[in-house]
Chain A
Amino acid sequence: MTRVNLQYYAQLREQAGASTEQVSTAAVTLRDLYDELRARHGFTLPVDALKVAVNTQFSDWNRALADGDTVVFIPPVAGG
């Protein structure tokens, strides 16, 4: 299991009901992790509508998770 810190923005924060959480996951890649979270929190956004950053760098969805990673999911927002 990998322990990671998660940060959510915008719709994801709303649907998760929190800005941050710490999870232990069996997911190998960021994509697997998002799929897992999507099932848990009922996220409506598909993975290709999002950006993901790990340790303050934008990242590829196929990146492997490492213990202690801080993962940020960023949806596009349109408000003005």
Chain B
Amino acid sequence: MMRFDLTAAPADLAKLREELQHPGSGGFCAFEGWVRNNNEGREVSGLEYEAYTELAIAEGERILAEAAERYGVLAASAVHRVGDLKIGDLAVWIGASAPHRDEAFRACRYIIDEIKHRLPIWKKEHYLEGDTAWVACSHTERAHEMEAPHLHGHHHGHTHTHEHHHEVTAKEFTPDYSRQTRLRDVGASGQAKLAASRVLVIGAGGLGVPVISYLAGAGVGTLGIVDHDVLDASNLHRQVMYDARDVGQRKVDLAARRVAALNPSVQVQTYAEPLTAQTALDVFAQYDLVVECTDDLASRYLASDAAVLTGTPLVLASVYQYEGQLQVVTAVPGEPCLRCLWPDMPAPGLAGSCVESGVLGPVPGVLGTMQAMEALKLLLGLPRPADHALQLVNLLDGTSQRLPIDAASGCALHGGCVAVARAALEQAQADGDIERQFHYLDDAIAAGYAVVDVREADEITAAPLHVTSLRIPSGEIAACSLAGIDGPALLVCASGKRSTHAARTLRQRGVDAWSLAGGVAALAPGASS
């Protein structure tokens, strides 16, 4: 609902507000402009508005549509009075409802600023002394022009290029890289290399924040940023380029805005969906270097496989409480990848994460900064150790050790990194179409899935699920009718292997069957016993 009206009679505010109710809206913001008793030192007794009605309505509706486009509001309307008004009368009313309050506030501000600036409405003030004057409404400051270039916050497309948002600031700012070009190994030629570089950062969280900040500051030409999350208040202790006002907004948008503010000469490309086995190779192929900064093991393995298959260097890091691990995958034949070290992805429940175990803010700060350093070394061709190592950093006792990785004892034993990565990616592509990830089965049920436990009776006794489930051992699933199930079935086993196989079997019979990725082991601790 988007409507702009001009009216000679007082507006029905309750009705206007009512009309902006939307089930998807969590925030509503209204602005009222009133007639005040003075203007520029003169006492005002009342005023009179005159409008070029057709144009004002058309332009008003355009402004509302722009606000929806810019801020993702779900409903907005505005009413402007015309005719004679007394002191205290309502002259203009604006309302906007949006998923989050911030969008509603910003949209409201945008609409009033643009109305004052663009609408063909003239104001005649009546002064206490008896005279009158037409007052210009057009020279108003527009708050959104003072904002960093704003990014569209509500598109569901995967990719946005934000180049056109940079114009305003880019004109006024020339980056000064003198502190780094003064380094003999960098110089003007190094700076030109950075400007020509395209770097993909996967994850704009604890590790990604320093990576994005330093690479943008250094003048990397294009930064790709992948993140499907919105900012949560619990992120702020370690994700220091965001602030409290940003909570609830998409991190890709916030990160792109931050980069535009930090260094307008950097182009940003955002990806609001996670990379998948289907998309990763195409995306990697567009970049010179990838920095993996997620807290997701599957993403790290996918990144290693895609790096090896596209020959794109990759900087990996992960953190746990007070320590971290760092590995550079050069993607050069014969040099080790992630799978040379850890051949298969550990069951998700086995790897420590920040959510479950906690982390002190500076830990990803340090490891992410180290990733940025490795990225710059690779881009600039600075000296790096000749061997390949897993670096362990313990920030409690201040120790760091490099453990050399022997490529000959890794993937080389299984046909080499490329063959291993290709097989893994093909498997992930096949599984991606059948697996669903849930940390809690309650979420699956809420999403409409019927849970089918395909484990054996003794396994179920040892680790029962805490939700209602149908029990059909995987060996019997082929013969079972599943007649009682409405909607999609989510099959669950210990690790996800049997349930994937069983889901394939059921699909051949036309059942809408899915497999819980990683099985019971992937559920949050306590989600089964």
Residues of chain A touching chain B, judged by Cβ–Cβ distance below 8 Å, are 9-11, 13-14, 19, 45-46, 49, 51, 53, 56-58, 72, 74-80
CB of B206 within 8 A of CB of A80, answer yes
Most buried by B among A11, A49, A57, A80: A80
- Residues of A close to B409: CB separation below 8 A: 58
Do A80 and B320 contact each other (CB < 8 Å), given the known contacts A9-B392, A58-B405? Answer: no
A78–B58 Cα distance when bound, in Å, is 53
A58–B407 Cα distance when bound, in Å, is 11
CB of B353 within 8 A of CB of A79, answer yes
A75–B319 Cα distance when bound, in Å, is 11
CB of A19 within 8 A of CB of B397, answer yes
Determine if B177 is an interface residue (Cβ-Cβ < 8 Å): no
Determine if B149 is an interface residue (Cβ-Cβ < 8 Å): no
A-facing mask of B330-356, CB < 8 A → 1, else 0? 000000000001100011101111100
The 6 closest A-B pairs by CB, nearest first: A80-B295, A77-B320, A79-B354, A78-B351, A10-B320, A79-B319
CB of A10 within 8 A of CB of B352, answer yes
- Residues of A close to B352: CB separation below 8 A: 10-11, 75, 77-79
Total interface residues on B, CB under 8 Å, equals: 44
B369 to A: closest C-beta gap in Å: 14
Contact of A57 among B325, B353, B403 (CB under 8 A): B403
User: Which chain B residue lies CB-closest to A46?
Assistant: B350
- Residues of B close to A79: CB separation below 8 A: 206, 295, 318-321, 352-354, 357, 359, 364
A61–B157 Cα distance when bound, in Å, is 48
CB of A9 within 8 A of CB of B323, answer yes
User: Could you list 15 further interchain pairs (A-B, Cβ under 8 angstroms) beyond the known A58-B341, A72-B392?
Assistant: A9-B323, A11-B320, A46-B350, A49-B347, A56-B404, A57-B403, A58-B403, A58-B409, A72-B403, A77-B323, A77-B324, A79-B318, A79-B320, A79-B359, A80-B293
- Residues of B close to A9: CB separation below 8 A: 320, 323, 392, 394
User: Which chain A residue lies CB-closest to B205?
Assistant: A80
A74–B351 Cα distance when bound, in Å, is 11
A13–B203 Cα distance when bound, in Å, is 27
Do A53 and B318 contact each other (CB < 8 Å), given the known contacts A19-B397, A75-B351, A79-B354? Answer: no
CB of A19 within 8 A of CB of B396, answer yes
Q: Is the interface of A mostly helix, strand, loop or mixed?
A: mixed
Determine if B97 is an interface residue (Cβ-Cβ < 8 Å): no
Determine if B406 is an interface residue (Cβ-Cβ < 8 Å): yes
Determine if B236 is an interface residue (Cβ-Cβ < 8 Å): no
A58–B394 Cα distance when bound, in Å, is 18
- Residues of B close to A78: CB separation below 8 A: 295-297, 300, 318, 348, 351-353
A-B contacts counted at CB < 8 A amount to 99
Do A49 and B346 contact each other (CB < 8 Å), given the known contacts A19-B394, A79-B354? Answer: yes
- Residues of B close to A80: CB separation below 8 A: 203, 205-208, 293-296, 317-319, 354, 364
Determine if B401 is an interface residue (Cβ-Cβ < 8 Å): yes
- Residues of B close to A75: CB separation below 8 A: 350-352
CB of A74 within 8 A of CB of B357, answer no
CB of A77 within 8 A of CB of B403, answer no
A-facing mask of B305-335, CB < 8 A → 1, else 0? 0000000000001111101110000000000
A11 to B: closest C-beta gap in Å: 5
- Residues of A close to B396: CB separation below 8 A: 19
A76–B352 Cα distance when bound, in Å, is 7
- Residues of B close to A49: CB separation below 8 A: 346-347, 350
A20 to B: closest C-beta gap in Å: 8
- Residues of A close to B319: CB separation below 8 A: 77, 79-80
B360 to A: closest C-beta gap in Å: 11
A-facing mask of B268-285, CB < 8 A → 1, else 0? 000000000000000000
- Residues of B close to A13: CB separation below 8 A: 323
A11–B405 Cα distance when bound, in Å, is 22
A76–B396 Cα distance when bound, in Å, is 18
CB of A76 within 8 A of CB of B357, answer no
- Residues of B close to A77: CB separation below 8 A: 318-320, 323-325, 351-353
- Residues of B close to A10: CB separation below 8 A: 320-321, 323, 352
CB of A14 within 8 A of CB of B357, answer yes
User: Which chain B residue lies CB-closest to A20?
Assistant: B397
A76–B351 Cα distance when bound, in Å, is 5
A58–B341 Cα distance when bound, in Å, is 9
B399 to A: closest C-beta gap in Å: 8
- Residues of B close to A53: CB separation below 8 A: 403
User: Which chain A residue lies CB-closest to B359?
Assistant: A79
A53–B389 Cα distance when bound, in Å, is 12
CB of B321 within 8 A of CB of A14, answer yes
Do A58 and B404 contact each other (CB < 8 Å), given the known contacts A79-B320, A80-B208? Answer: yes
CB of B394 within 8 A of CB of A11, answer no
A10–B352 Cα distance when bound, in Å, is 7
A77–B342 Cα distance when bound, in Å, is 11
Most buried by B among A13, A46, A57, A77: A77
A14–B321 Cα distance when bound, in Å, is 9
- Residues of B close to A72: CB separation below 8 A: 392, 401, 403
B260 to A: closest C-beta gap in Å: 24
A71 to B: closest C-beta gap in Å: 12
A19–B324 Cα distance when bound, in Å, is 14
Most buried by A among B294, B317, B352: B352
